[in-house]
Amino acid sequence: MRKIWARDKQEAIQVEFNDLGQPIDEKSSSELAHFLGAIARNGRYAPLHYKNWIKVPQTYKKEMLTQVQEKFQLPPGQEDWILKSIAKKWRNWKSFVKTNYYDPNVSLVEQMKNVPERVHEDQWKELVTFWNSDASKKKELGYYPSRSTLFIECYSKGETPGNDVASQAMVIVK
């Protein structure tokens, strides 16, 4: 990625998209995908401490788009695809960090000392604090739920079915 980060606007890489809004040239689309991944893993552009992508402020998202547009020549209207791609890579990165560096069996103080190399210290502290909170911990059933239990959980809010079709299906699966 050093070659891409070092480019200026005049050396931007041309990326072509198909009718579905997907990059089609193998070489440039691969470079674009890798660059988007680099942005998603960079805490300066895509901070990890937000609970989900929707909570990431627009100022960060605009800066991410600016970085991409400085390095790549994109047709107008591709901003949505770019942000969706970064969002997916950001979620994957956040999941990787939690899976590989967070240990719920270690004290909060010890966790905060174990800052991953590619994560900003202040963001890590917020992440660990959240992951240790009751709000982030899901109820454990102690067994695998049945398909009917899973269906009801996914298609209802509390005891209320999400819609009429879900309501009818819940009567059948109970």
Residue with tokens 């890489």: 13
DSSP designation for 17: B
Domain boundary among 57, 78, 103: 103
Range of the structural domain that residue 39 is part of: 2-103
Q: What is the pTM of this model?
A: 0.75
155 and 75, same structural domain? no
pLDDT per residue, tens digit, the chain (174 aa), is 667 777 766 777 888 888 887 888 877 888 899 999 999 999 999 999 999 999 999 999 999 999 999 888 888 888 999 999 999 999 999 999 999 999 988 999 999 999 999 999 999 999 999 998 877 776 666 677 788 787 887 888 777 777 888 788 778 877
Residue 96 lies inside a defined structural domain of this protein: yes
What distance lies between CA 134 and its chain's CA centroid?
Answer: 22
- CB atoms under 10 Å from CB of 37, counted, come to 18
- List helix spans (H) across 20-78: 26-40, 58-71
Residue with tokens 């994109």: 74
